[in-house]
Structure 1
Amino acid sequence: MHNKAFLKYVFDDELYVINEAQRKVAQGPNAEYSKTEEAEKKEKQVMEKTWPISFKGQNAKNIIILVNYPAEKHISNQDEQFLLKILSAVSLSLQDVAIINLAKNECSIDRLKDFNSSIVLLFGEFENIPGLSNYEIKTVEGIKFQKANSLREIQNNVPEKKLLWSNLQKLFL
């Protein structure tokens, strides 16, 4: 089959023809489909840098929201609705942020840097994040952090809503 013109109607992506010489790895003819050590090392580095974390949102503005919901994949519906109201008050939407449930994912400063985070909002109790007080903005390695009580607690507490609103204005407005 030499006429490959029809392939553009079958596949949306670009296609590349790889001949037998390109397929063989430098290790010899019996290692046609094996990877070189260098290729395996590069693949491992890429895998270590990828964010193997499940998150909700598009993260268009590199804003991470860390929550703690052991019974949910990301966030409860009720708290998500409240969070969306908070975000809209500072002209943000779900497309602008990534909501990460720390009850289901591990996180570190390095991972946040790999994710190009500029601001991280924490809602709830987190045992593994020392040195952050509620309603205090703190910059750590170029990332601004703001920790607060859980969204459920804030939703029913006017003084805490005011504290959160004050910090959100400093961060976003």
Structure 2
Amino acid sequence: MENELGFISQMFDTLYLFPEELEDIEIPEEELEKEEEKAVEKTAEVEKTPAITPKKVIRKQLPTDYYGENKRNIVIFIEHSGVDIFRSKEFQLLLKILGALQLTLQEVAVINVLEQKDNLDTLVKKLQPKFFLYFVNQNESPLSGEKVAKYIPTEIDGHQAVAADGLTKLLLDVEKKRDLWMALKALFEL
């Protein structure tokens, strides 16, 4: 039995013995002492390790009404019905569009029209926009219901603006992306 256990213990890292098997095995004193020394060393190491204190985390509170910080007073209207907007392909496309315009999310205010239907007018007044960008599926402004021409720089609701199809449609249509880029270049004089 001891020869079998010696062979098996070399083959496996951990060896589990059942109570009835333990009765026949004699463990040499040297091995017991080694195990006790290892346990004492581990305890000493744990005691030497300094206590980890949590760092203070400062979290910037994001507005719940819109995304971004609106530093350049550019309001972007989108329609997004998914749960996690930041991980969506549509939001990634929007970030690429902003990058092409040399803008960041901090410089704009992105309003999800589907979430802000009731207080859209109040929110827009608070943001004091200079430009509007519409990425909505309807052919009307979500603010006034005014008809909007898509992919043409124009004035909508009293502001310089460009309207385009929703971001989901833009993801799949290269021609519409090209038209959008031409309209945005004209609007921002790039």
* Residue number among 58, 61, 64 corresponding to 2:72 in the alignment: 61
1:79-105 deviations in whole A, cap 9, x for unaligned? 111111111111001011111011110
Aligned to 1:32: none
Q: Which has the larger radius of gyration?
A: 2
CA RMSD of aligned residues (A): 2.3
Aligned to 2:23: none
Is 1:104 the equivalent of 2:120? no
- Unaligned stretches of 5+ in structure 1? 1-51
CA shift for structure 1 position 156: 1.8
- Unaligned stretches of 5+ in structure 2? 1-62
For residues 131 and 75 of structure 1, the distance between their equivalents in structure 2, rounded to whole angstroms, comes to 30
TM-score (norm 1): 0.61
After TM superposition, the structure 1 = structure 2 runs for residues 62-141 of structure 1, keeping only pairs within 5 Å, are 62-72=73-83, 77-106=88-117, 107-108=120-121, 111-126=123-138, 128=142, 129-140=145-156
For residues 115 and 72 of structure 1, the distance between their equivalents in structure 2, rounded to whole angstroms, comes to 25
Query: Could you say if the C-alpha distance between residues 133 and 53 of structure 1 is closer, same or farther in structure 2, counting changes exceeding 3 Å?
Result: farther
AA in 1 matched with 2:131? I
For residues 167 and 72 of structure 1, the distance between their equivalents in structure 2, rounded to whole angstroms, comes to 30
> Is contact 1:58-1:94 (8 Å) kept?
yes
Query: Could you say if the C-alpha distance between residues 141 and 65 of structure 1 is closer, same or farther in structure 2, counting changes exceeding 3 Å?
Result: closer
CA shift for structure 1 position 138: 2.1
CA shift for structure 1 position 158: 1.5
After TM superposition, the structure 1 = structure 2 runs for residues 153-164 of structure 1, keeping only pairs within 5 Å, are 153-164=169-180
Specify the SS of the correspondent of 2:154: strand
Specify the SS of the correspondent of 1:55: coil
Q: How many residues align?
A: 121
Aligned to 2:54: none
Task: Work out the percentage of aligned pairs sharing the same amino acid.
Answer: 30
1:59-91 deviations in whole A, cap 9, x for unaligned? 110011101123347566211111111111110
Specify the SS of the correspondent of 1:139: strand
AA in 2 matched with 1:165? W
TM-score (norm 2): 0.56
